[in-house]
Amino acid sequence: PLYLLTFKIAPALAAGNTVVAKPSEMTSVTAWLMCKVFQEAGLPAGVCNMVFGTGATTGQALTSHPDVPVISFTGGTATAEVIRRTIAPFNKKVSLELGGKNPSVVFADANLDDCIATHMRSCFANQGEICLCTSRVFVQDTIYDEFVEKFVAATRKLKVGSPKSADTKIGALISSEHRDKVKSYIEIGRQDGRVLCGEGVDAPVELPAGLQKGYYVQPTVIVDCADSSRCMQEEIFGPVACISKFHSQEEVVERANDVKYGLAACVWSRDISRVHSVAHDLQAGTVWTNCWMVRDLNMPFGGMKASGTGREGFKDSMDFFTESKTVCIKM
């Protein structure tokens, strides 16, 4: 949450604007602490203003106010639809970075050891509560069984527990409501396919004293779901990975694109020609090849389809937070 705020506030201030920022009501503490940093740094009062509240009240008041000309939002697709309807009469400039159902395409010639290790991050980092996390893993049929076996074994090694422990890989989810939502998708996966490890399969995690009421979900692997399953179509935003088998490049590109989202994707192959071909055909704003979350703030960042509107990054953000003007002078 803190990263997302700074990713928007910094270019807005650099472009000479004042800012009114509203963090999620679920992540207000880090934003409040950042206010103290601004004060200690000597930022003049009124340059960056932090307001707290829910989206339905504070967020609505901001987006509908006639004196707020530019909106940059990161969050859910449903909220973005409300923002679009709200700002339409005002013709405000808007940038929307929304959800994803990000695919990873693993071809038979991929480096499996590196691939599996990276997927443990791309699927389960921050408990899967990152919009860029991999949610659907498509594996070529000739290596499918080996991949699944290694993937499940690696997933079971991820430690669930206290954030104060250096070897913890999976912490608590943001709220009890979200935990219940994630678990409901796992039940859908159990009905539509098979749950190989995690919730309802492995023994419950023994949490340290004081954490038993935490909103924990074990990292879970689901297979054999049809592409039409809600587990394959809807954003889960938790530590859940769905693995599917594919045969040909043409098939997997079509299936990977068969969702309403288009935020990010990964391609795993040693064949550079194939990598370029697949990356070109995937409907995603960012495509990583043989890696994940390699970022440079100069790179344009944003999604296609229901994953957003516009791009952010150094040049794109500076363009967004400024207005171009043409002045013609006859001497």
DSSP 141-163: GGGHHHHHHHHHHHHHTSPBS-T
Share of the chain above pLDDT 90, in %: 95
Integer Cα distance of 78 and 27 in angstroms: 19
pLDDT, position 209: 87
pLDDT in tens, 18-39: 999 999 999 999 999 999 999 9
Q: What share of the chain is helix, strand, coil (3-state, %, to 5)?
A: 40, 20, 40
- Residues annotated as catalytic are 97, 131
Contacts of residue 144, Cβ cutoff 8 Å, sequence gap at least 6: 245
Q: How many residues does the chain have?
A: 331
Q: Per-residue DSSP letters for 89-101?
A: GGT-EEEEE----
pLDDT at 208 over 90: no
Integer Cα distance of 279 and 265 in angstroms: 8
With vertex at residue 260, the alpha carbon angle to CA 257 and CA 264, rounded to the nearest 5 degrees, is 60
pLDDT band at 228 (very low <50, low <70, confident <90, very high): very high
pLDDT, position 1: 83
Contacts of residue 8, Cβ cutoff 8 Å, sequence gap at least 6: 21, 72, 74, 312, 317
pLDDT, position 14: 96
Asked if 267 and 282 touch (Cβ cutoff 8 Å), the reply is yes
- Grouping H, G, I as helix, E, B as strand and the rest as coil, residue 181 is helix
